[in-house]
Amino acid sequence: MRNEHFRNPISETAPVRWALILAVLAFLALFVLLPLLVVFTQAFREGWSAYFSALGEPDAVSAIRLTLLVAAIAVPANLIFGLAASWAIAKFDFKGKAFLITLIDLPFSVSPVISGLVYVLLFGANSVLGPFLKSHGLQVVFAVPGIVLATIFVTFPFVARELIPLMQEQGTGDEEAAISLGANGWQAFWYVTLPNIKWGLLYGVLLCNARAMGEFGAVSVVSGHIRGLTNTMPLHVEILYNDYNIVGAFAVASLLALLALLTLVLRTILETQYGSELSATQKH
Amino acid sequence: MASARSAARWHWKTPSVIPGFGLTLGFTLAYLTLIILIPLAGLAWRSASLGWSDFVRLVLDPRTLGALKVSFSTALIAAVVNVIFGVVTAWVLVRYNFPGRRIVDAIVDLPFAIPTAVAGIALTAIYAPNGLLGSHLAPLGIKVAYTPLGIIVALIAIGLPFVVRTVQPVMQEISREVEEAAASLGASRLQTIFRVILPGLTPAILTGFALALARGIGEYGSVIFIAGNIPFVSEIAPLLIVIRLEEFDYGAATAIATVMLVISFLMLFLINFIQAWSRRRFGHAQ
Amino acid sequence: MAIINKGLAVAFLGVGLAVGSLSAAWAQNTLLNVSYDPTREFYKQYNAAFAAHWKAETGEDVAIQQSHGGSGKQARAVIDGLEADVVTLALEADIDAIAERTKKIPANWRELLPNKSTPYSSTIVFLVRKGNPKGIKDWADLIKDDVQVITPNPKTSGGARWNFLAAWAWAEKEFGGDRTKVTEYVTTLFKHVPVLDTGARGATTTFVERGIGDVLLAWENEAWLALEELGPDQFDVVAPSLSIYAEPPVALVKGNAQAKGTEKLANAYLEYLYSKEGQNLAAKNFYRPSDPSGVDAKLLEKFPKLELVTIEAFGGWKKAQPEFFGDGGIFDQVYKPGN
């Protein structure tokens, strides 16, 4: 580029470069951007008023409410777990640590359907626990507790997976110094560790939340699909789709797509602003 | 107290002045056991209570085998495509500067964030015979939606970030000097790429491949809308679990789930093995 | 840190609000109607009509929740703990199963509402592609070489069981009761089935949207709905020479309704199905009303007259269910996937 005849020996020629860039852009446009675009064009194909009346449907509203409720329980639960797990794993050396990390990763490689199925087997009518809990007034499967449990299972590793490498990278020096200066464990955590990991933590929570609100397979198995009662947004998308209510299905889907976009925008902002405070190893 | 505990367990835990080990590890293990391990053990237990002969009969049921075959082969093809495009994407993002690179980098993560059901209905709307692209492909005799090809398309769409995000950080750390050395020793650019750069990336690529494959085998939401769900043709294993559950055939659902869980464990084991191998061989893991 | 504190506070606030609003929703009169697949459109309209009726009558608001799926699957969900106040399923056997397993429905439930607890009836017809390119006129045409038949799974779908019995009834008449020939016909028929969806709606979607198959064995109402919703220019409804008189019954799940204190409301909900308004809505949604006297004559014109066999010809559901659809029953012997 700079010189017609000089070819940088450790880079490709300009045409190759641009061919690769275009190939990547085309690939992403086809598989990622086009579906996103279609969500919005389908949602708005009958205009704004059809879109908003679809979202104002009582069943859609209760699906949105349930989704928020489930995320509001599942995300803090996994946030606390993530903090505890990363503290134990990153600040101490013990045998079996690698195995523990593998176990924490497990939900990533288990099919969502299985994540739901295990709770049906555990709490369903022909299980041991189900009838017992039911007789004490707690319905798990086909009710909100089952949906929450399945969501926690699926989003289990997100916060921990974000924090462990970050805290490992930061080492234990700061905390040791704080403690040698007389801080207790909570103080070391609140005043030393937390400020160091807050952006990584926020990022993990964002991802965890996006998945919690968008989970379909696991929740589908435990929900019972009762409109207005145990239908989360992704399940409601499916129901509307099966009702041939295309605008409704894509309208609800568009809210979830917006959430995904928002998550990514925040992620990008976090990365540009606080890149050094975020772990470089974002595996999941 | 803390020091007494660390002294007592000194053989498996390195002592530390930092407190909270017992509390945090205890909580971690309890939570892990309650949320993940007991439910999974429940599945294994239910499966064991089927008895060996029943279990084998259920797993060898032709429809189960058909579904597993569909899941595995489509996930394999999608993972291969994702490896090729994933490595190229990572390369372009790490090495080239072009307008909008940051945006492209962010877009790669979209499949992580977008709910699978949303991706599923959107891809179906695109590739159905009366859809945006499907209507143009249909006259050419290409059917994507409601065929195994549709499953592959969905799995490519959701699996892409796995490869990119595992390969990208390792690629970033490749030192340019090695390439310069290769070039100055007379290697062509292609030789440098295939002989010098790619071998160093192999563990990361394999890890990304295994992650994409594991995800593809278990994927449900994005696939069921586009697959057509025809037994022996485009019915995936997770869907068959759901169908068996709907028939209240818990035995069959449990048996299929157990097979899939074993596959997940194997994949996880494989990923860990690659990482350990890469640590030994290259001194780093991604 | 401050961010985290705030985040947690917001999260807990969110939980509080959501729990609060959920319990608020429970406090009013809420009914859960667990129904089968093709009644989605009908009950959507009926629920609105009933809510208005109840409000005018008593001044109370009522919220009605709906769950739809294959009838057998829905029955199992109620057995498994789904807290339905009323069930409106595709066939008697499914409600019997709930009654037997949970005792939440009295055994004599069919006598508790008019017309044997069947406010509307239906039958099974064929939905074919426009112009009927494969020339499908009757059951015999379904086993022609190049014909693919779409029907849901009799194990999970009530409609599919009516489909199966309708085919069986036709074959019995055709072959003069020769059991071997009848079984052979039905076995061949299922070799022409490429997909077994779990519910009638899934089967309709397979046929209509996914373009798979040449003929859909469908509820009369589902066939007309597909035609109306998705374009009369794409499909035709074909009435076979003989079909089955399908009675989708309704029942109060007394155990659940009593526990929730909704018994009176739930009974009124079911009784209103038999009213003039209920019957008109049923007819409008292509269900054959049980009491056509007050129904708009125009709505009744759509229902073709055809020879209908009743379930009594099979000895009633108590006999037919285990014989045909129980484990190891006739369907299990007939349907061998993959051959």
Domains of chain B: 51-281 (1.10.3720.10)
**Is residue A222's pLDDT more than 80?**
yes
CA distance C101 to C111: 19
Counting as contact any 3 or more CB pairs under 8 A, the partners of C are: A, B
Nearest to A154 by CA among A122, A194, A204, A106: A106
> What CATH number belongs to C21-118+248-299?
3.40.190.10
CA-nearest residue to A124 within chain C is C80
**Is residue C26's pLDDT more than 70?**
no
Q: Measured between CA atoms, how close is A207 to chain B, in angstroms? A: 7
What are the distances in angstroms from CA B236 to CA B81, B223, C75, C139?
A: 19, 8, 26, 32
Asked if C1 lies within 8 A of A134 by C-beta distance, the reply is no
Tens-digit pLDDT profile for residues C291-337: 999 899 999 988 988 899 999 999 999 999 999 998 788 998 888 65
Question: Residue A125's pLDDT is what?
Answer: 73
Q: Which of C6, C15, C86, C253 to mutate to test the interface with A (most CBs of A within 10 A)?
A: C15
Which residues 67-96 in chain C show a CB within 8 A of chain A? 67-69, 77, 79-83
Report how many helices (DSSP H) and strands (DSSP E) chain C contains, helices first. Answer: 15, 12
Q: Nearest Cβ partner of C77 from A194, A224, A244?
A: A224
Residues of C in contact with B248 (CB under 8 A): 73, 76, 80
**Is residue C72's pLDDT more than 80?**
yes
The CATH T-level fold of domain C121-246+306-334 is: D-Maltodextrin-Binding Protein; domain 2 (3.40.190)
Asked if C338 lies within 8 A of B247 by C-beta distance, the reply is no
Q: Measured between CA atoms, how close is B252 to chain A, in angstroms? A: 12
Tens-digit pLDDT profile for residues A76-90: 999 999 999 999 999
Do C280 and C299 contact (CB within 8 A), yes or no?
A: yes
**Is residue C33's pLDDT more than 70?**
yes
Do A267 and B106 contact (CB within 8 A), yes or no?
A: yes
Question: Residue C8's pLDDT is what?
Answer: 47
Question: Residue A7's pLDDT is what?
Answer: 63
Question: Residue B283's pLDDT is what?
Answer: 62
Residues of A in contact with B203 (CB under 8 A): none
Q: Domain map of chain C by residue range?
A: 21-118+248-299, 121-246+306-334
Which ipTM score applies to this complex? Answer: 0.89
Question: Residue B129's pLDDT is what?
Answer: 81
Question: Residue C7's pLDDT is what?
Answer: 47
Do A259 and A213 contact (CB within 8 A), yes or no?
A: yes
What confidence tier does C78 reach under pLDDT thresholds 50, 70, 90?
confident
Cα dihedral B244/B247/B248/B254 (nearest 10): -10
Residues pairing with C124 in the sheet: C219
Q: Please give the distance of CA A218 from its chain centroid, rounded to a whole number.
A: 14
Residues of B in contact with C155 (CB under 8 A): 247
What confidence tier does B247 reach under pLDDT thresholds 50, 70, 90?
confident
Tens-digit pLDDT profile for residues B112-122: 899 999 999 99
Q: Which of B246, B247, B250 to mutate to test the interface with C (most CBs of C within 10 A)?
A: B246
